[in-house]
Amino acid sequence: MQIGILYSRIRKDEKLLLGELRERGHEVEKIDVRKERFGLESTTANVDDLDLVVDRCLSTSRSLYATRFLDSYGVPVVNTPETGDVCADKAKNSLALAQADIPTPATEVAFTKEAAMEAIEAFGYPCVLKPVVGSWGRLMAKIDSRNAAEAILEHKETLGHYEHKVFYVQEFVDKPGRDIRALAVDGEPVAAMTRSSDHWLTNAAKGGETKSFDLDEAALDLVERASEAVGGGLLGVDLMEVGGTGSGEYTVHEVNHTVEFKALDAASDVDVPAKVVDWLETKAADAADRENGEEVTA
Protein backbone atom coordinates (compact mmCIF):
# COMPACT_ATOMS: atom_id res chain seq x y z
CA MET A 1 0.00 0.00 0.00
CA GLN A 2 0.98 3.64 -0.33
CA ILE A 3 1.13 5.49 2.95
CA GLY A 4 1.64 9.22 3.41
CA ILE A 5 3.31 10.55 6.54
CA LEU A 6 2.54 14.15 7.48
CA TYR A 7 5.48 15.56 9.40
CA SER A 8 7.63 18.55 10.07
CA ARG A 9 10.27 16.79 12.13
CA ILE A 10 11.33 13.16 12.01
CA ARG A 11 11.56 11.96 15.58
CA LYS A 12 12.64 8.52 16.70
CA ASP A 13 8.95 7.59 16.64
CA GLU A 14 8.62 8.44 12.95
CA LYS A 15 11.85 6.58 12.16
CA LEU A 16 10.47 3.47 13.82
CA LEU A 17 7.28 3.80 11.81
CA LEU A 18 9.07 4.46 8.52
CA GLY A 19 11.37 1.50 9.11
CA GLU A 20 8.48 -0.88 9.76
CA LEU A 21 6.46 0.35 6.77
CA ARG A 22 9.39 0.01 4.38
CA GLU A 23 10.36 -3.37 5.78
CA ARG A 24 6.89 -4.63 4.85
CA GLY A 25 7.27 -3.30 1.32
CA HIS A 26 4.88 -0.39 1.60
CA GLU A 27 5.58 2.76 -0.40
CA VAL A 28 5.98 5.77 1.83
CA GLU A 29 5.35 9.37 0.78
CA LYS A 30 6.88 11.73 3.31
CA ILE A 31 4.93 14.98 3.32
CA ASP A 32 6.72 17.88 5.00
CA VAL A 33 3.77 20.15 5.78
CA ARG A 34 6.05 23.19 5.91
CA LYS A 35 6.59 22.92 2.16
CA GLU A 36 3.01 22.37 1.04
CA ARG A 37 -0.01 24.54 0.34
CA PHE A 38 -3.58 23.51 1.05
CA GLY A 39 -6.31 24.95 -1.16
CA LEU A 40 -10.04 24.54 -0.88
CA GLU A 41 -10.14 21.80 -3.49
CA SER A 42 -6.61 20.45 -3.76
CA THR A 43 -3.12 20.56 -2.33
CA THR A 44 0.42 20.71 -3.64
CA ALA A 45 1.12 17.61 -1.53
CA ASN A 46 1.27 14.38 -3.50
CA VAL A 47 -1.74 12.62 -1.96
CA ASP A 48 -3.80 11.46 -4.95
CA ASP A 49 -2.69 7.84 -4.98
CA LEU A 50 -2.29 7.34 -1.25
CA ASP A 51 -4.26 4.63 0.50
CA LEU A 52 -3.89 6.33 3.86
CA VAL A 53 -2.17 9.35 5.40
CA VAL A 54 -0.81 9.23 8.93
CA ASP A 55 -0.62 12.52 10.79
CA ARG A 56 2.69 12.73 12.63
CA CYS A 57 2.92 16.52 12.79
CA LEU A 58 4.84 17.74 15.79
CA SER A 59 2.99 21.04 15.67
CA THR A 60 -0.60 20.83 16.88
CA SER A 61 -1.82 23.71 14.71
CA ARG A 62 -0.33 22.18 11.56
CA SER A 63 -1.74 18.80 12.51
CA LEU A 64 -5.26 20.16 12.89
CA TYR A 65 -5.31 22.16 9.67
CA ALA A 66 -3.48 19.68 7.46
CA THR A 67 -5.71 16.76 8.47
CA ARG A 68 -8.83 18.91 8.05
CA PHE A 69 -7.82 19.84 4.51
CA LEU A 70 -6.88 16.28 3.53
CA ASP A 71 -10.14 14.99 4.94
CA SER A 72 -12.04 17.55 2.86
CA TYR A 73 -10.41 16.18 -0.32
CA GLY A 74 -11.58 12.69 0.62
CA VAL A 75 -8.08 11.47 1.50
CA PRO A 76 -8.26 8.87 4.29
CA VAL A 77 -6.30 10.26 7.23
CA VAL A 78 -5.52 9.03 10.73
CA ASN A 79 -6.09 10.35 13.19
CA THR A 80 -9.18 12.12 11.93
CA PRO A 81 -9.43 15.91 12.28
CA GLU A 82 -12.36 15.38 14.64
CA THR A 83 -10.25 13.28 17.01
CA GLY A 84 -7.41 15.78 16.74
CA ASP A 85 -9.71 18.66 17.53
CA VAL A 86 -10.86 17.07 20.78
CA CYS A 87 -7.46 15.80 21.88
CA ALA A 88 -5.50 18.96 21.05
CA ASP A 89 -7.45 21.05 23.52
CA LYS A 90 -7.43 20.03 27.17
CA ALA A 91 -10.81 21.63 27.83
CA LYS A 92 -12.49 19.74 24.98
CA ASN A 93 -10.64 16.61 26.05
CA SER A 94 -11.96 16.89 29.61
CA LEU A 95 -15.49 17.56 28.38
CA ALA A 96 -15.45 14.53 26.07
CA LEU A 97 -14.26 12.28 28.89
CA ALA A 98 -16.82 13.62 31.36
CA GLN A 99 -19.65 13.31 28.84
CA ALA A 100 -18.74 9.65 28.38
CA ASP A 101 -18.91 9.13 32.17
CA ILE A 102 -15.20 8.38 32.33
CA PRO A 103 -13.61 9.36 35.64
CA THR A 104 -11.46 12.42 34.98
CA PRO A 105 -10.03 15.07 37.33
CA ALA A 106 -12.46 17.83 38.31
CA THR A 107 -11.80 20.79 36.04
CA GLU A 108 -13.01 24.36 35.62
CA VAL A 109 -12.28 26.88 32.88
CA ALA A 110 -12.35 30.62 33.55
CA PHE A 111 -11.60 33.58 31.30
CA THR A 112 -10.34 36.24 33.70
CA LYS A 113 -7.77 36.04 36.45
CA GLU A 114 -10.42 36.99 39.00
CA ALA A 115 -12.67 34.10 37.97
CA ALA A 116 -9.66 31.80 37.75
CA MET A 117 -8.70 32.81 41.29
CA GLU A 118 -12.16 31.86 42.48
CA ALA A 119 -11.80 28.46 40.80
CA ILE A 120 -8.39 27.94 42.42
CA GLU A 121 -9.67 28.89 45.88
CA ALA A 122 -12.65 26.59 45.42
CA PHE A 123 -10.35 23.64 44.59
CA GLY A 124 -8.02 24.55 47.45
CA TYR A 125 -4.26 24.05 47.53
CA PRO A 126 -2.53 22.42 45.84
CA CYS A 127 -4.33 22.54 42.52
CA VAL A 128 -3.13 22.62 38.96
CA LEU A 129 -3.18 25.22 36.19
CA LYS A 130 -2.53 24.02 32.65
CA PRO A 131 -2.42 25.63 29.22
CA VAL A 132 -5.32 24.36 27.09
CA VAL A 133 -2.90 23.61 24.25
CA GLY A 134 0.50 22.21 25.07
CA SER A 135 2.43 19.06 25.70
CA TRP A 136 5.39 17.41 27.38
CA GLY A 137 4.40 18.96 30.72
CA ARG A 138 5.36 22.46 29.60
CA LEU A 139 3.88 25.49 31.41
CA MET A 140 2.04 23.29 33.88
CA ALA A 141 1.79 24.83 37.32
CA LYS A 142 1.11 23.09 40.62
CA ILE A 143 -0.20 25.89 42.77
CA ASP A 144 0.55 25.58 46.46
CA SER A 145 -0.60 28.96 47.76
CA ARG A 146 -2.68 32.03 47.02
CA ASN A 147 0.50 34.07 46.53
CA ALA A 148 1.73 31.68 43.85
CA ALA A 149 -1.69 31.66 42.19
CA GLU A 150 -1.82 35.45 41.99
CA ALA A 151 1.65 35.63 40.46
CA ILE A 152 1.05 32.91 37.87
CA LEU A 153 -2.32 34.31 36.83
CA GLU A 154 -0.93 37.81 36.44
CA HIS A 155 1.98 36.53 34.36
CA LYS A 156 -0.32 34.52 32.13
CA GLU A 157 -2.75 37.38 31.66
CA THR A 158 -0.01 39.94 30.95
CA LEU A 159 2.49 37.95 28.94
CA GLY A 160 0.51 35.15 27.40
CA HIS A 161 -0.95 34.43 24.02
CA TYR A 162 -4.77 34.65 24.09
CA GLU A 163 -4.97 30.91 24.72
CA HIS A 164 -3.26 31.51 28.07
CA LYS A 165 -6.21 33.63 29.09
CA VAL A 166 -8.34 30.50 28.96
CA PHE A 167 -7.49 29.43 32.48
CA TYR A 168 -7.80 25.65 32.83
CA VAL A 169 -7.84 24.84 36.52
CA GLN A 170 -7.85 21.27 37.77
CA GLU A 171 -7.88 19.40 41.03
CA PHE A 172 -4.50 18.02 42.05
CA VAL A 173 -4.58 14.23 41.98
CA ASP A 174 -2.23 12.78 44.56
CA LYS A 175 -0.94 9.97 42.37
CA PRO A 176 1.54 7.40 43.73
CA GLY A 177 4.61 8.95 42.07
CA ARG A 178 3.63 7.58 38.70
CA ASP A 179 1.03 7.71 36.00
CA ILE A 180 0.16 5.26 33.25
CA ARG A 181 0.41 5.71 29.49
CA ALA A 182 -1.49 3.24 27.34
CA LEU A 183 -1.09 3.22 23.59
CA ALA A 184 -4.26 2.05 21.90
CA VAL A 185 -5.57 1.62 18.37
CA ASP A 186 -9.31 2.26 18.21
CA GLY A 187 -9.56 1.36 21.86
CA GLU A 188 -7.52 -1.82 21.71
CA PRO A 189 -4.38 -1.50 23.83
CA VAL A 190 -1.04 -2.09 22.12
CA ALA A 191 1.07 -1.73 25.25
CA ALA A 192 1.22 0.31 28.44
CA MET A 193 3.85 1.66 30.78
CA THR A 194 4.17 3.57 34.01
CA ARG A 195 6.07 6.84 34.14
CA SER A 196 7.60 7.49 37.55
CA SER A 197 9.31 10.49 39.03
CA ASP A 198 9.87 12.23 42.36
CA HIS A 199 8.59 15.35 40.62
CA TRP A 200 4.83 15.87 40.38
CA LEU A 201 5.20 15.84 36.58
CA THR A 202 5.96 12.30 35.49
CA ASN A 203 5.96 12.77 31.68
CA ALA A 204 8.60 10.74 29.85
CA ALA A 205 9.56 14.02 28.14
CA LYS A 206 10.35 15.40 31.62
CA GLY A 207 12.61 12.46 32.38
CA GLY A 208 10.07 10.22 34.07
CA GLU A 209 11.34 6.65 34.44
CA THR A 210 9.36 4.22 32.30
CA LYS A 211 8.41 0.61 33.04
CA SER A 212 6.08 -1.83 31.29
CA PHE A 213 2.64 -2.08 32.89
CA ASP A 214 -0.13 -4.68 32.59
CA LEU A 215 -3.53 -3.05 32.35
CA ASP A 216 -6.18 -4.66 34.54
CA GLU A 217 -9.82 -5.03 33.56
CA ALA A 218 -10.80 -1.60 34.90
CA ALA A 219 -7.99 0.12 33.03
CA LEU A 220 -8.73 -1.81 29.82
CA ASP A 221 -12.33 -0.67 30.02
CA LEU A 222 -11.32 2.96 30.55
CA VAL A 223 -8.83 2.91 27.67
CA GLU A 224 -11.47 1.55 25.33
CA ARG A 225 -14.09 4.05 26.44
CA ALA A 226 -11.69 7.01 26.45
CA SER A 227 -10.66 6.18 22.90
CA GLU A 228 -14.28 6.04 21.82
CA ALA A 229 -15.08 9.29 23.63
CA VAL A 230 -12.59 11.24 21.49
CA GLY A 231 -13.47 9.53 18.21
CA GLY A 232 -10.97 6.66 18.13
CA GLY A 233 -7.64 6.32 16.37
CA LEU A 234 -4.02 5.82 17.35
CA LEU A 235 -4.04 7.34 20.80
CA GLY A 236 -2.07 7.74 24.00
CA VAL A 237 -4.42 7.43 26.96
CA ASP A 238 -3.05 8.76 30.25
CA LEU A 239 -4.39 7.45 33.54
CA MET A 240 -3.58 8.07 37.18
CA GLU A 241 -4.16 5.62 40.00
CA VAL A 242 -6.50 7.02 42.61
CA GLY A 243 -5.98 5.76 46.15
CA GLY A 244 -2.46 4.43 45.75
CA THR A 245 -0.47 1.92 43.73
CA GLY A 246 -2.48 -1.08 42.64
CA SER A 247 -5.76 0.34 43.96
CA GLY A 248 -7.45 -0.66 40.71
CA GLU A 249 -9.18 2.71 40.61
CA TYR A 250 -8.21 5.20 37.95
CA THR A 251 -8.88 8.64 36.57
CA VAL A 252 -8.16 9.48 32.93
CA HIS A 253 -6.52 12.88 32.66
CA GLU A 254 -6.01 13.11 28.92
CA VAL A 255 -5.89 11.45 25.54
CA ASN A 256 -3.14 12.35 23.05
CA HIS A 257 -3.67 12.23 19.29
CA THR A 258 -0.15 12.45 17.81
CA VAL A 259 1.18 10.05 20.36
CA GLU A 260 4.89 9.35 20.79
CA PHE A 261 5.75 5.72 21.38
CA LYS A 262 9.54 5.39 21.40
CA ALA A 263 9.65 5.27 25.21
CA LEU A 264 6.89 2.65 25.26
CA ASP A 265 8.65 0.60 22.59
CA ALA A 266 11.80 0.61 24.72
CA ALA A 267 9.98 -0.17 27.98
CA SER A 268 7.74 -2.91 26.64
CA ASP A 269 8.29 -6.37 25.16
CA VAL A 270 5.71 -5.51 22.50
CA ASP A 271 6.95 -4.54 19.03
CA VAL A 272 5.02 -1.28 19.10
CA PRO A 273 5.78 -0.05 15.54
CA ALA A 274 4.74 -3.46 14.17
CA LYS A 275 1.41 -3.29 16.01
CA VAL A 276 0.84 0.26 14.80
CA VAL A 277 1.54 -0.73 11.20
CA ASP A 278 -0.79 -3.74 11.57
CA TRP A 279 -3.49 -1.26 12.46
CA LEU A 280 -2.57 1.13 9.63
CA GLU A 281 -2.88 -1.74 7.16
CA THR A 282 -6.37 -2.45 8.49
CA LYS A 283 -7.35 1.21 8.26
CA ALA A 284 -6.06 1.44 4.68
CA ALA A 285 -7.99 -1.70 3.72
CA ASP A 286 -11.16 -0.29 5.35
CA ALA A 287 -10.73 2.98 3.45
CA ALA A 288 -10.30 1.09 0.17
CA ASP A 289 -13.44 -0.95 0.89
CA ARG A 290 -15.39 2.22 1.58
CA GLU A 291 -14.19 3.81 -1.63
CA ASN A 292 -15.08 0.72 -3.65
CA GLY A 293 -18.47 0.54 -1.98
CA GLU A 294 -19.17 4.17 -2.77
CA GLU A 295 -18.22 3.61 -6.41
CA VAL A 296 -20.59 0.66 -6.63
CA THR A 297 -23.53 2.55 -5.16
CA ALA A 298 -22.84 5.81 -7.05
Partner 1 sequence: MTSDTDPVLAEDPITGEEIELPADVEVGEIIDSPVTGTELEVISLDPVVLEEAPELEEDWGE
Site string for partner 1, 3-32 (x = CB under 8 A): ----xxxxx--xx--xx----------x-x
Minimum separation from the CB atom of position 62 to partner 1 (A): 8
Residue 111, interface with partner 1 (CB under 8 A)? no
Distance CA 86, CA 92 (A): 5
Q: In a 3-state reduction of DSSP, which class is residue 7?
A: strand
Q: Which of 42, 46, 61, 247 binds partner 1 (CB under 8 A)?
A: 61
Residue 190, interface with partner 1 (CB under 8 A)? no
Query: If we measure between CA atoms, which residue out of 83, 46, 47 comes closest to residue 63?
Result: 83
Q: Which of 84, 231, 236, 273 binds partner 1 (CB under 8 A)?
A: 236
In the region spanning residues 136 to 175, those forming contacts with partner 1, defined by CB under 8 A, are 136, 138, 161
> For residue 145, what is the enclosing H or E element?
none
Distance CA 124, CA 51 (A): 51
Minimum separation from the CB atom of position 232 to partner 1 (A): 17
Distance CA 235, CA 193 (A): 14
Stretch that binds partner 1, among 90-98, 127-135, 145-153, 278-286 (CB under 8 A): 127-135
Judged by CB, which is closer to partner 1: 123, or 227?
227
∠ CA(194), CA(273), CA(94), 5° rounding?
A: 50
Residue 256, interface with partner 1 (CB under 8 A)? yes
Distance CA 21, CA 36 (A): 23
Distance CA 165, CA 152 (A): 11
In the region spanning residues 32 to 51, those forming contacts with partner 1, defined by CB under 8 A, are 32
Q: Which of 67, 94, 251, 258 binds partner 1 (CB under 8 A)?
A: 258
Judged by CB, which is closer to partner 1: 59, or 197?
59
Burial of 220 (0-12, 13-18, 19+ CB in 10 A): middle
- Sign of the dihedral through C-alpha 231, 232, 235, 236: positive
Judged by CB, which is closer to partner 1: 113, or 181?
181
Minimum separation from the CB atom of position 59 to partner 1 (A): 5
Q: Is the peptide bond before 131 cis (omega within 30 degrees of 0)?
A: no
Minimum separation from the CB atom of position 136 to partner 1 (A): 5
Q: Who's near 143: CB < 8 A, 6+ residues apart?
A: 120, 125, 126, 127, 128, 129, 149, 152
Residues in the interface with partner 1 (CB under 8 A) total: 29
The phi, psi pair for 277, rounded to 5°, reads -70, -35
Q: Which residues bind partner 1 (CB under 8 A)?
A: 7-11, 14-15, 18-19, 30, 32, 58-61, 131, 133-136, 138, 161, 205, 236, 256-260
